């Protein structure tokens, strides 16, 4: 049976609060305590006998101010120490909120998962579950393998989502499929307060109702929509859509006759003209793009340079961008 570790730190922190959160504010569940916390890991749970579970520690606190650096470092080092003691692992379930702020540290969850990855190694499959109000930074997305999030606000499905993350992990290990072939991480430049993102009313109601059907498609492991966290002033706080799967298919829409200075809909319109084209003409034009071709990404294209995502024209002209061949990237941005 696969060996699976469990670890996590969860809190949502407001950077607008003068209060700070210390270690005493965190409720720690260590080792076997977690078997009662997660229903599917109880003695009669559906997952208990499908893996050798090696729980380290999950620490959670009620919403508050930023976490002190001392508290964060203490919690992380405790978890890393426990993980080292239980090595090796085939998988790891990472249970986080995604909106933790730490004094003097950008992207705490990204920092946390990098340090976890350094301990467990690159072969271990990490499956992460988050709150839909969490923040999925590039660093977090890059270092996790499987990812899911709550699909309801208020979060009536929080435990269901955690169990989905565990089931996804166990099934990938049991089947031998391992890590997903593809991950899509799409940042969305929008940030709304939680009061305007309830899934009980529109527009979030329809948006989140579409997530489960999307995730159920053949070739898809999971799909999630993160609203982001509006109560902290940090660059990573914005919406994100993320999908993991084994099949890759590009779906695009376009508008004919409009030219912008960024080659996409976000730029300033430079010109407009009337264009009429029959469906057959469009189909024939698209066929000309098939096959292998070298291309220089336009300066405002979303590309990956030196293992980091950057929108080229918006990130110092993507220093180091070079011509490349189509189809040579597994991680889709």
Query: What is the tens place of the pLDDT at every residue in 253-263?
Result: 677 888 888 77
Cα–Cα distance list, 320 to 69, 308, 315, 325, 329 (Å)? 35, 11, 12, 16, 16
What are the tens digits of pLDDT across the range 95-122?
999 999 999 999 999 999 999 999 999 9
CATH at 67: 3.40.50
Q: Is residue 238 part of a domain?
A: no
Instruction: Return the pLDDT at 108.
Output: 98
The count of structural domains within the chain is 2
Q: Does 166 share its domain with 263?
A: no
Q: Does 174 share its domain with 262?
A: no
Q: Mean pLDDT over residues 7-18, rounded?
A: 96
Q: How many residues does the chain have?
A: 333
Is the pLDDT confidence value at 324 over 80?
no
pLDDT higher at 258 or 81: 81
Segments forming the whole domain that contains residue 105: 3-181
Q: Does 35 share its domain with 149?
A: yes
Q: Is residue 168 part of a domain?
A: yes
pLDDT higher at 261 or 124: 124
What are the tens digits of pLDDT across the range 156-179?
999 999 999 999 999 999 999 999
| Tokens linked to 310 | 């950057």
Instruction: Return the pLDDT at 310.
Output: 46
202-217: burial string, b at 16+ Cβ within 10 Å, e else: eebeeebeebeeebee
User: E strand or H helix at 76, and its extent?
Assistant: helix 69-86
Domain boundary among 156, 181, 206: 181
Cα–Cα distance list, 259 to 80, 182, 222, 297 (Å)? 52, 31, 35, 17
Q: Does 280 share its domain with 173?
A: no
């Amino acid at each position: 049976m696969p060996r699976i570790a469990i670890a996590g730190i969860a809190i949502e922190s407001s950077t607008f609060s003068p209060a700070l959160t210390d270690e005493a504010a965190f409720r720690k569940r260590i080792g076997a305590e977690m078997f009662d916390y997660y229903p599917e890991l109880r003695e009669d749970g559906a997952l208990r006998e499908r893996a050798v579970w090696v729980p380290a520690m999950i620490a959670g606190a009620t919403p508050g101010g930023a976490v002190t650096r001392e508290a964060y470092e203490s919690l992380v080092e405790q978890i890393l120490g426990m993980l080292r003691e239980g090595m090796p692992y085939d998988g790891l379930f990472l249970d986080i909120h995604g909106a933790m702020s730490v004094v003097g540290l950008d992207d705490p969850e990204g920092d946390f998962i990098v340090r976890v990855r350094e301990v467990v190694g690159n072969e271990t499959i990490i499956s992460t579950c988050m709150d839909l109000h969490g923040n999925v930074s590039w660093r977090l997305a890059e270092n996790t393998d499987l990812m899911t999030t709550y699909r309801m606000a208020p979060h009536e499905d929080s435990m269901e989502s955690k169990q989905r993350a565990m089931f996804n992990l166990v099934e990938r290990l049991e089947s031998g499929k391992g890590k997903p072939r593809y991950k899509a991480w799409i940042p969305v430049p929008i940030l709304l307060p939680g009061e305007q993102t309830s899934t009980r009313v529109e527009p979030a109601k329809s948006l989140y109702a579409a997530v489960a059907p999307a995730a159920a498609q053949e070739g898809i492991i999971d799909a999630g929509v993160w609203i982001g966290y509006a109560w902290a002033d940090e660059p990573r706080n914005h919406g994100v859509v993320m999908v993991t799967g084994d099949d890759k298919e590009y779906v695009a829409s376009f508008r004919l006759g409009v030219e912008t200075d960024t080659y996409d809909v976000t730029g300033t319109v430079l010109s407009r003209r009337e264009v009429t084209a029959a469906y057959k003409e469009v189909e024939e034009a698209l066929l000309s793009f098939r096959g292998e071709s070298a291309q220089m990404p336009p300066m405002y294209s979303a590309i990956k340079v030196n293992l980091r995502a950057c929108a080229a024209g918006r990130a110092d002209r993507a220093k180091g961008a070079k011509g490349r061949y189509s189809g040579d990237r597994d991680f889709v941005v």
